[in-house]
Structure 1
């Protein structure tokens, strides 16, 4: 994994218990940032924090649910002001729309969209203040699913399309205040997202849907995020699509 210069930066990474979130936390810590690991699974966070610390990095495990309000005082007490937020928390629940899985719709809306809004708003004052002195970054992890039309993916894709559009609009408000906003849209990535699907028939079909595609690793997406946030403060990559060479 490539390292970048992120010394003196403090990042909050949501979804840090696994996948892109966990890999991003490691990448940022290896590049010198202090990293707050925010997710629900406290045991996973403790293990990840221990690994980062063993490598000489700084990490704070912070068990919280992005769909609920949470107290940020422990974060600021430990690491001070935050100047980077990576919204990587997300769930992918796919079923035919005609199945009326309102439970899944609510969970995806609450996590993928409302949770992202909540976290962004919570740390927005920090980012705006930090931007007056140095780089400040808001990175939202969307998906190329935001642009695709696939059966059973309607609601998931809708939440990601909302994140993509939200990111573009947030840039019009936060950019003039010095905060860089980047929307990252990964293609097929080897993470546990597919394990969220509770329809055995659909799970069995996934290999055929992505036949011939060598997935990205979470670390490869994390490396891109490390690069994006290490750029000079006057350089903003607002939209980054990263996908396997073999995916069309």
Structure 2
């Protein structure tokens, strides 16, 4: 599906693969100029080339959301100008029993899934507030159904996503009166690279079993939700969207 995002300027983090890459494609096919942010330069460049080959506008910005984003912001502004659509998609999912004490994994998830989201918001909130004065302005945070449900061995991951969901609700209270729409998207089981991050083989097998039992969404299906939400009339804010395979409860 494509939507009308003509003359919009978007930033998508975690755009090197999975949901982020598909979001970038949907936005570009819908007429937006899309800055692709992630750490993997080759993947980003290939995606930007694909967007351009399809007649869209996209360019790669190698950046780590857990670090200073000044250079990335400068590159986006120099290329496309002010941003009016930001998708906070970068994230990592690691899993182990809490008793395993994997503080390295905890830190990585907190740094990427929470601090990274905040860094991106800090980098582009000024753009979004300014853009809202003349047209639609969107902040989309990709959270997870895990923000509400219990999954053994995923305590820290789901806690980080609960933080994103609660952050989104509070941001809407602050930014909504300034005409910036805040949308929190919570996918259920989705085909992406996230499960590949899990180093514990037994837990990875359990995840495969969950997928086999109820099915999973494609990344493109989640991306379609983002395209739909951000293409609504300026005064319409789809605040929170939970998108699941039909059999997932």
TM-score range, shorter chain: over 0.9
Aligned counterparts, 1:101-112, within 5 A: 101-112=102-113
Aligned counterparts, 1:1-248, within 5 A: 2-70=1-69, 71=71, 72-248=73-249
Q: Give the TM-score normalised by the residue count of structure 2.
A: 0.98
Q: Which 4+ runs in 1 deviate beyond 2 A?
A: 207-212
Tell me how many residue pairs correspond in the alignment.
247
Give secondary structure in 1 for the equivalent of 2:151. Answer: coil
Give secondary structure in 1 for the equivalent of 2:214. Answer: coil
1:200 CA displacement:
1.2
* Structure 1 unaligned blocks of 5 or more: none
Give secondary structure in 1 for the equivalent of 2:212. Answer: coil
Post-superposition Cα deviations, 1:201-244, rounded to whole Å, max 9, x if no partner, equal 21122222333212100000101100000000000011000010
Post-superposition Cα deviations, 1:145-171, rounded to whole Å, max 9, x if no partner, equal 001112101000000000000000000
* Structure 1 CA distance for aligned equivalents of residues 59 and 211 of structure 2: 36
* Structure 2 unaligned blocks of 5 or more: none
* Structure 1 CA distance for aligned equivalents of residues 35 and 138 of structure 2: 15
* Structure 2 CA distance for aligned equivalents of residues 176 and 87 of structure 1: 21
Q: Which moved more, 1:170-179 or 1:209-218?
A: 209-218
Give secondary structure in 1 for the equivalent of 2:183. Answer: strand
1:105 CA displacement:
0.3
Give secondary structure in 2 for the equivalent of 1:211. Answer: helix
Q: Give the TM-score normalised by the residue count of structure 1.
A: 0.98
Alpha-carbon RMSD across the aligned residues, in angstroms, is: 0.7
Give secondary structure in 2 for the equivalent of 1:128. Answer: helix
